[in-house]
Structure formats: C-alpha cells, structure tokens
Amino acid sequence: MRNEFCGQVTEKYLDQQVEVCGWVGNRRDHGGVIFIDLRDHTGLVQVVVEPDNEAAFKIADGARYEYCLRVKGMVRNRPDGQGNSKLATGQIEVVVDEYHVLNPSKPLPFMLDENPGENVRLQYRYLDLRRDNMQHNMRLRSKLTHALRNHLHQSEFLDIETPILTKATPEGARDFLVPSRMNPGQFYAMPQSPQLFKQLLMMSGMDRYYQIARCFRDEDLRADRQPEFTQLDIEMAFVEQEDVLQMAEKLIRDTFKEVMDIELANPFPRMTYAEAMRRYGSDKPDLRIDLELVDVADAVKDSEFKVFSAPANDPKGRVAVLKVPQGGANFTRKQIDEYEPYARRFGARGLAWIKVNDKAAGKDGLQSPIVKFLSDDALAGILSSTQAEDGDLLFFGAGKFNEVTQFMGALRIKVGQDIGRVSDTWEPLWVVDFPMFEFNEDEKRWDALHHPFTAPTGSVEALQNNPGEALSKGYDMVLNGVELGGGSIRIHDQKMQSSVLELLGISEQQAEEKFGFLLEALQFGCPPHGGIAFGVDRMATLMCGEESIREVIAFPKTSSGACPLTNAPSTIEAAQLADVHVQVIEPEKDD
C-alpha cells in the first residue's frame, strides 16, 4: 500500500511519485488548497490537495483529525520561504494524484498533543501509543531487547523457555494462582521468576541459558512495579561470582553503548552492602547525589540528651547526620519543617536539625532547638565528624539502625533533588556481600534477603551457628539509584540447601512438598552455578528518561492492578467457575 514512510520522503524523491499511508495530524484549507500533515511512526510529510483534482479534493475536504489515509502523488519543493528546517521532510511536499480514506475517525477523547489523566490514557491506550513520546519509548525498548539478545547469542547462551504454569513456591511475594479443571481443588502458580527451572537447566548440562521472561507477582504496585513484568534471566554453570559480574557488566556496558551511545564506567565500582547502607542509607544508592550520611554516635554517646545518647549506646542503634552544604543554613524554618513529615513517611519519629551560622563562635554560632541540650564537646565532635562549615545545615536521625538508615536514606535523595545536587551522569555500581538473612521481628524468624537458593560465603556449620552474621554470594547491579538487576551464586549442595530452608523455618516435610524436585536434583552431580536477572522494564525506563515503567510497557495496569482498556480483572460466570471447581466468597462489607 506504500513505497515509503512519511518521515522519509525527502529531497531525494524530488519529481518522483510516492505512495504513503498515515494519520491526519493537521488539516488546513488555504485559499482553496488543502494542506494535510500526514503522520506515521517515522514522522510527518506535508500533503497538498489542489482543487483541479476534483475527486481527491472532495474527499480531502471532509478529512478530519486522525483519519487514516493513503495518498499517491508527486514530490516537489515547497515554495520559497515555506520550508521547515525542523523536519527531515520540511523542504518538500507531496502533491496528491490519488487520495483514499482507509478509515475515518470519530472525535478523539483527547488530542494527541495533550497529556490526559492516566486512566484515560490507559482506557484508550491504542490512541496513547500513537503519540510521539510513546512511539519513541516502545521502539527504543524493542532496540534494547534486540541488543540484549544479540549479545547473549554471540556469547553462546541458549534461549530456552520455561513454564508459565508451575508450582507455588515461596519466593518473597504472593503468587497468582490458576485453578486446574482436570485436577479438582488443585492450582498452578504463575512464576514469580524462572529461578528453579534455570537452576535445573544448569544441572541438565545446558551450561549457558537466557530468557526474556514474563514474571508475575501479586503484590502492591508502585512506579517501578507491575503485576506482570519482563526480566532478562541469565544463568551459567561452572562459574564463581567474579565470572558472573564480568559477564553481566560487559553485557550492560555494550548494550548502553549500542542503544544509547553511552559509555558506562569500566570497570563498574563496587561497594559492600554494609558500606552502602552506612554511607547512603540504601542498598541501591544513587551516586549522582554527592551527599552522604555520617555517623556521630561517638560524639553524642555521653550526652544528657537521651534522644541521641540512648541509640548511640545501643549496639542496634544509630545516630546519623545528613549535611546540606553550600547554603543549607539559608533554609527557612518553614522549609526545614516540611522535611519532617516526609521523613515520617519512611519511619522517622522526628527530625532534629542544626544550622551552622558561625562555626568559630562555638555554641553561639549554632542555631537549633536542640543546641541547648548538647555539650560543647558533643557539638564540637559533630562539627568535626561532618566537616561542617559556615552556611551548612545538619539533619539528624536517631533510633534503631534500620529505621534511621531507611528514613535518612530517603531524606538524602529528597534533599539532593531539592537543592540540585543530582549530576547529569550515568553512575553504575555493584553492591556485593549482602547479608544472608534478615530477622523478621513480626514473625520472629529469619527471612532470606535475596531468595532461599542464594549460596552463603561460609560453611553449613558457620551458617547454623551464627545466621545473623552470615554473608551471601549475592550481588545487585545499580544504575542511578535503580536496582537494574540482581543475582547470586546458587546453592549446589543438597545439605547446604536443606540447612538454609531449615533456618528459614521451612520444615523437612514442607521442604519436600515445595522443593522436593530441587533437593533431589542437587544429588545428581549438580555443578556450581550462578546468574543474574535484569528488569527489562526498569532498564527501558531509565533509557527513556521516564519516571514510571508504565511509560515503556505497551499495555500496563494501573496502580490498583486494573486494565481500563479491557476492564480486567472482571467477574466470571458461575458456570465457568464450576468448570474449574472454584467458588467465590465475597469479602464481608462493613455496615
């Protein structure tokens, strides 16, 4: 139906006939001559319908916004002074010989140069995807996945599909469940990841595996989460941690170069989990922000100010400072007070602060409601530890280590953004040496920080004797404060795997029910193996400069997990539910 795309009809086609298809972006009637901006995914071309072509002119006279057209015509130069240097097609126009309306359009619910609410955009996603920004995002995403595949194929990885209907296994989030018609009362689970299957593939001698896999998690949503998402899943046999890190780093460096022409650091810097939490309050620190947290427990541990001294003397406590440099002391009291409710959202009980107006004047040069509670020695220690200078503002966090680390880390990001301390760079990072477990205070048991199949750095005996101090062979790749991917060396020893499951409170019977096939497979000459999985949605979001992964997914869900386009999820007729042996119990409604 066409021999060229709209955005590619340039001067090289002068005095030649072209056939193009697209949508009406704009229509103008100038003195009996109709001008139409015809648009497809490559751009637009100006189409001219002259009155002497009566048949075409009559049809074009009724053309409206987003009509779908096919035109055939001769390419000529635009008249002098009417060119558009901003367009690749801006020096030419197509004079119509034949004009066909492939499909008219009724008035759109929104103009494509508008930005309506998210629900409207998703309800009419097929229209939203016509917009230039969404066209760019989806095409860049396609280029991204193509580059990833090419790199892995050239590195002799096998593209192998794993099941979508599988067994429910505890991997950290709720499963989406699928009832089985042929097995009454039994359910499949949608995979949260292909984790166990890719480990089995390493046991099968496949050696190097990858898959661009669909994954499903029934959890609360936010900007970087969807109930279904895409990840690049990779696994390698006969490797140690360094092998995986080198492979993954080269993959991402080459991909960013090919897709974005961006040179990432070589090598990526590395940081332990403990250092990342101490300095940045996050296991995915954004290194574009040059602010850091500083511990001042030693300076305040002898203070009579119990808000500081109590956590300073608690082995599980923390007193940390975030210094706001270069004019932070110029913040108004209103500006400072606005940070407290923000910090409370992340677990803070309050947010103390000190303005450093004149460091040389000692206590008299400091401004804060808490200065009167701190000794001269404590204040001097704080100023020394933070290397504070005149004009700086100090924010304090005090309490349990994890709580302080969390809200001060969030505050660091917020302040850094507010004062313009986010550099225009790409800052990759490996975070390594994760703890093997974290203690669940609510349920009084250990949880796996990554997942139950991550290998510890020590022996079975060391793990059992001191699980709280055990480190794992887990690693995360972080880019600009986003966890781009995470992985680990896996447990390939059956005794170690059983010990980890036992520490997680999974009984021998439960382990056999949930993971019996894995535990058995580990006994048949399982090789050492490890891998990593990258969030394709997150990677595309970063490359496109978007804030939400919904902007790089063709048909995403809303924050409540709904699809306004198809009205999913929806109720199912009783007869269809009966086929799969399911009965719906409506939740009780509060009077």
318 in a known ligand binding site: no
Q: Which amino acid is at 175?
A: D
The number of beta carbons lying within 10 Å of the beta carbon of residue 524 is 8
Sheet holding 366-367, edge to edge: 293-295, 317-324, 393-400, 352-356, 366-367
249 in a known ligand binding site: no
- The answer to whether 3 touches 21, Cβ cutoff 8 Å, is no
Give the C-alpha separation, 285 to 428, whole Å: 10
Give the C-alpha separation, 77 to 46, whole Å: 11
The number of beta carbons lying within 10 Å of the beta carbon of residue 220 is 12
Q: Which two tokens stand for residue 154?
A: 């050239």
Q: Where are the alpha helices (DSSP H) in 235-328?
A: 241-260, 273-280, 297-300, 306-312
- The answer to whether 336 touches 396, Cβ cutoff 8 Å, is no
523 in a known ligand binding site: no
154 in a known ligand binding site: no
338 in a known ligand binding site: no
537 in a known ligand binding site: yes
**3-state class (DSSP) for residue 13:** helix
Question: Phi and psi for 340 in degrees, rounded to 5?
Answer: -65, -50
List, in sequence order, every residue forming a beta bridge with 570; answer none if it has no partner: none
| H-helix or E-strand spanning residue 37 | strand 33-40
| H-helix or E-strand spanning residue 135 | helix 132-154
535 in a known ligand binding site: yes
538 in a known ligand binding site: yes
Give the C-alpha separation, 111 to 65, whole Å: 9
Give the C-alpha separation, 168 to 514, whole Å: 7
Q: Which two tokens stand for residue 62?
A: 């009724």
391 in a known ligand binding site: no
Give the C-alpha separation, 337 to 47, whole Å: 58
Distance (Å) of CA 515 to CA 65, 179, 367, 431, 511: 58, 20, 60, 29, 5
Q: Which two tokens stand for residue 83?
A: 């060119």
Give the C-alpha separation, 88 to 52, whole Å: 28
Give the C-alpha separation, 230 to 70, whole Å: 36
219 in a known ligand binding site: yes
- The answer to whether 327 touches 370, Cβ cutoff 8 Å, is no
Give 540-545's long-range contacts (Cβ < 8 A, gap of 24+): 540/137, 540/140, 540/141, 540/144, 541/224, 541/482, 542/479, 542/480, 542/482, 542/484, 543/140, 543/144, 543/256, 543/259, 543/260, 544/136, 544/137, 544/140, 544/141
Question: Phi and psi for 261 in degrees, rounded to 5?
Answer: 55, 40
Q: Which amino acid is at 127?
A: L
Give 497-504's long-range contacts (Cβ < 8 A, gap of 24+): 497/452, 497/453, 497/522, 499/460, 499/463, 499/464, 500/436, 500/448, 500/452, 500/453, 500/456, 500/463, 501/452, 503/437, 503/446, 503/463, 503/464, 503/467, 504/437, 504/445, 504/446, 504/447, 504/448, 504/452
490 in a known ligand binding site: yes
536 in a known ligand binding site: yes
Residues of each annotated binding site: 171, 217-219, 226, 450, 483, 490, 535-538
Residues of each annotated binding site for ATP: 217-219, 226, 483, 535-538
Residues of each annotated binding site for L-aspartate: 171, 217, 450, 490
